[in-house]
Structure 1
Amino acid sequence: MPRPGDAIAARAPEPTLTIGVDVGGTSVRAGVVDERGAVIDTTRAPTPGGERALDDAITGAIRELADRHAVAAAGLAVAGFVTADRRSVQFAPHLAWRHVPVADRISRRLGLPVVLEHDANAAALAEHRFGAARGARVAVLVAIGTGIGAALLIDGRVFRGAHGVAPELGHLRVVPNGRPCPCGKRGCWERYCSGTALAATAIELLAEYPGTSTVLAREAAGDPRAVTGLRVAGAARDGDPLAQRAMAELARWLGEGLAVVADIYDPEVIVVGGGVAESAPLFLDEAREHYASVITGAGHRPLARIRTAQLGDDSGIVGAAQLAREIVNEVAPNSAG
């Protein structure tokens, strides 16, 4: 005979599990996420080149996880322009989709509700709900990796602009006629403050100050592509003077850009995420100091808190899964009525 406590437990609804998928240029990463933002199971597949193959990779990853867990919906975090209704991808520079109704297409194949979000927006929502921006009224996320992704949250809601593509902070021009950018402009912020920029700065310094970094010079002579942002950060940790100088340049440009961001948005908190943020001890304090010195009204206004992301590489997965959960929660009361 069941005890009273057993009967209550049997009637209690199970926690809602949803799937978040981070669709990047190199891999499709999917995870099952619970209501506390914890990722409890994951899978990964290489990102294929063709449109149909990309759909197959995503549905395959979701099905694999759905076979192991009872999930209610899925969210996709996409590195590209997503329409304001979060149903279609307009353009994604490293993916095959061009003006494609991705959410509806994947949903039909899976029989699950599916929602899309820009990957930086998804990461910002995750940090606001579970991480470094929790409770902030106005928050900006700056994701520094190969380039710069960005998101703006106001009262916990994503600001998308008139056409769903704001804010492209990485393509603010900080150096007129500066380094060329894949976007078509020259001198964009991400050309001076990113993993790619860190490598470019190191190569320029090697040409200007030969002999100041034996390790990086040897690697550059063998193959300049070996001098990556990750490699420069590692050399800086090991005390290489040229790598440290390149890291100081990144810190200066980060502080410069964050001052512009703060002048425009006046956020309560700025969350620095992305792969480069893993090396934050090498540059973030210096960036904070430069930010505080060049912001308009320096010394006479409150400053945004500048924090590193707490959820790391899982932020896109967690944010996309949370959006999927919100869809389920919106539908449930209507279904009950």
Structure 2
Amino acid sequence: MRTSDIRRYHANEIFHRIRIEPQISQKEIIRRTGFDKSTVSSIVTRFDELGLVVRTPTAAGNRPGRPAEGLSISPDSGLLVGVQVESEELGFVAAGLDGRPLAHHRQSFNRKVKTLDRAVADGIAAVTAASGRTSPLLGVGISLPGLVSTEGMLVHAPILGWRDVPVLDLLSRIVSAPLYIGNDVKAAAMAEHMFGNCIDLDDFIYLFSGSGVGGALFLDGEIYLGAHGLAGELGHMKVVPQGRLCSCGAAGCLSAYLSEPALAAEVEARGGKTVRSFDTLLDRAEAGDPAVVSVFEQAGEILGAAVSNLVNIFNPPVVALGGDMARASRYLGQSLERSLGRLAHPNMAAQTRVIFSEIATDRPYLGGVALALDGVTGLDASSVIP
């Protein structure tokens, strides 16, 4: 790991600890993180210089010497904006450094590369105005539905029909705030670690479904990137030999069975009415539509096969399921458990919790906010995260 990456990791973890434990002392940060005293001291000093944290004297009891200081996030330090690029919409979230959403905004999108920069700039202006804050914009995180290289190139986004789009360069020309971009599912995994059910976990595997299915390997406190930042495309695990054709061009991928378009197509193929959105599927499942209930049950079986592979290969403490599969947990859960019990090694399955994300059912998602927060608190972090 490069020196700059090590510093970013240390800074992010220290800020994360301050954010989730307001009034924590430097001594306690050292104890919780295992970082040495000089590293913690220099990074906290830098946060203080940037106005990101505040120091508050705390009660020292009867102990002699210098009063202890508690560290908290500065409430007026600035804003973050997260942007979610989807197939037909752009979603925006404004948040403080604590990650709590202050305002949301959604607008239609025509999938044209040449309109992306202006649409993003307009949306940022709208959501920052709606936040009611006059604090400076510290960072913008752009969550993208496809493969993102370490150079800021959107290598392939099937849902948009884009290949080799230099998103970082395009948006840097019009967004004046520091810009951080990344894959949407990796960003969602970061959000799960920062704000969700995996706050205190250094190792977990994340799966997310929407217009497609993706994943992330969160190992040793970091997203595992692979050779060129493209690792974690778990939606393209082969779960059905010679199965359905996937948007990636291969057959039998998990995404071809769990994505919204795949579920909708299967319902319609079984004689169901036209499906306009995932909300339509949920409404029909709630009403007991047999075609929809059956498709969800089959999807849960296939999801269980995919999760069993992850359990058998990685032996993770947690597999977290987000996005549409979390929204449909009541219809997927039983068949998922049956499949997992049949296919996962029993000793390894007993060591893994499979959970449905609580924060990943909100839209817009918090992945863009996580990218922005990671970039701003990473102290001179790369613009491509992860």
Structure 1 pair 226/77, CA: closer, same or farther in 2 (3 Å)? Answer: closer
Distance 1:226 1:316 in 2: 21
**What is the number of residues matched between the two proteins?**
305
Q: Is 1:319 aligned with 2:382?
A: no
What residue ranges of structure 2 are gaps of 5+ in the alignment? Answer: 1-55, 57-73, 382-386
Q: Is 1:126 aligned with 2:194?
A: no
What residue ranges of structure 1 are gaps of 5+ in the alignment? Answer: 1-7, 207-215, 220-224
Tell me if structure 1 keeps the 8 A contact 2:202–2:222. no
Determine the structure 2 residue equivalent to 1:61: 123
Determine the structure 1 residue equivalent to 2:80: 18
CA deviations on 1:143-178 (whole Å, 9 max, x unpaired) are 122321111111331112112222111112222222
The match for 1:155 among 213, 220, 230 is 220
Determine the structure 1 residue equivalent to 2:312: 263
Q: Is 1:310 aligned with 2:333?
A: no
Q: Is 1:95 aligned with 2:143?
A: no
Q: Is 1:180 aligned with 2:237?
A: no
Offset, 1:43: 1.7
Q: Is 1:249 aligned with 2:311?
A: no
Determine the structure 2 residue equivalent to 1:212: none
- Structure 1 counterpart of 2:149, which letter? T
Distance 2:235 2:183 in 1: 14
Structure 1 pair 326/274, CA: closer, same or farther in 2 (3 Å)? Answer: closer
Determine the structure 2 residue equivalent to 1:239: 288
Task: Give 1:196-211 correspondences, 5 Å limit.
Answer: 196-206=261-271
Give the 3-state SS of the residue equivalent to 2:245 in structure 1: coil
Tell me if structure 2 keeps the 8 A contact 1:195–1:230. no
Give the 3-state SS of the residue equivalent to 1:234 in structure 2: helix
Structure 1 pair 164/103, CA: closer, same or farther in 2 (3 Å)? Answer: same
- Structure 2 counterpart of 1:88, which letter? M
- Structure 2 counterpart of 1:16, which letter? G
Larger helix proportion, structure 1 or 2? 1
Tell me if structure 2 keeps the 8 A contact 1:126–1:316. no
CA deviations on 1:242-297 (whole Å, 9 max, x unpaired) are 433322211111111110122222221111111242121122133123213211x3
Q: Is 1:43 aligned with 2:98?
A: no
Tell me if structure 2 keeps the 8 A contact 1:74–1:320. yes
Tell me if structure 2 keeps the 8 A contact 1:33–1:40. yes
Q: Is 1:142 aligned with 2:207?
A: yes
Structure 1 pair 159/312, CA: closer, same or farther in 2 (3 Å)? Answer: same
After TM superposition, the score normalised by the length of structure 2 is 0.71
Name the % identity.
28
